[in-house]
Amino acid sequence: MSNLLQGKNIVVMGVANERSIAWGITKSLHNAGANLIFTNRQERSYQKLTKLLEKNDIKATLIVSCDVASDESIDKAFGEIKEKVGVIHGLVHAIAFANRDELKGEYADTSREGFLLAQEISAYSLVSVTRAAKELMTEGGSVVTQTYLGAERVIKNYNVMGVAKASLEASVKYLAEDVGKYGIRVNAVSAGPIRTLSAKGVSGFNEKAEIIEEKAPLRQNVDQEQVGDTTLFFLSELSRGITGEILHVDSGYHIIG
């Protein structure tokens, strides 16, 4: 428990269930005293979230529906947040999507439609929600997104998502420059493999997790709590001098050649 985010209003996008990285983040932010606003796409995620909040004795300030594929949905969600909460101080973006059949085989086989979908949901969404959040961050703020090493290196099966994450990481830097003058920071956590709903059913996950245990300096996989605490750091005043940064929470794996 700390009071790092006492009195701060933070929007969390991307809790699908108890395994979600955004749920690990939620626990860290709650323990730091934040008031939490959530957005979900699917009704199923909304149901899971309300049960999780109840079970963990966390009271949400607000829960709104938001599909980042639609400008109208983003406007509506942030309109409702403005109306009911007013000022926000932080935004957590933990959203990505690509067609499952394009997360295997050769990247060269990626379809035009699949490429654009991955970019739209996994990278452009950060641009659109940062723009919407900026209007509500009148006291300054912090935006944090989630990325993966496949943005920097060719990692088998990550394919079209690797290219979308490269775009996301470049967007972190361009956005950081745009909103820095308003006292708003934009950063990313680059997490090691974590078994979540998204990771389920995609080829190669187990193999990647095993390599971490074998080769990463810390010889163990990371978990949602570790990503949660680093995201908390980025949202708090402790990181006030940092923006446009991609910070690896991966047991040090990225330094190994």
Residues designated catalytic? 148, 158
Residues of this chain that bind ligand KAL (CB under 6 A): 16, 96-100, 103, 148, 150, 155, 157-158, 161, 193, 197-199, 202, 204-205, 208
Contact at 8 Å (CB) between 250 and 190?
yes
Integer Cα distance of 5 and 92 in angstroms: 14
Q: Which is nearer to ligand KAL, 5 or 149 (CB)?
A: 149
Residues 32-61, interacting with ligand NDP (CB under 6 A)? 40-42, 45
H or E segment at 72?
helix 71-84
Residues 175-234, interacting with ligand NDP (CB under 6 A)? 191, 193-194, 196-199
Q: Which is nearer to ligand NDP, 139 or 213 (CB)?
A: 213
221 binds, among ligand KAL, ligand NDP, none (CB under 5 to 8 A by kind): none
Shortest distance in whole angstroms from residue 162 CB to ligand KAL: 8
Rounded to 10 degrees, the C-alpha dihedral 154/159/164/170 comes to: 10
236 binds, among ligand KAL, ligand NDP, none (CB under 5 to 8 A by kind): none
Integer Cα distance of 169 and 246 in angstroms: 7
State which of residues 61, 97, 99, 116 lies at the interface with ligand NDP (CB under 6 A).
97
Shortest distance in whole angstroms from residue 89 CB to ligand KAL: 26
CA angle 233, 256, 241 (to 5 degrees): 25
Bridge partners for 39 per DSSP:
13, 64
Contact at 8 Å (CB) between 98 and 114?
yes
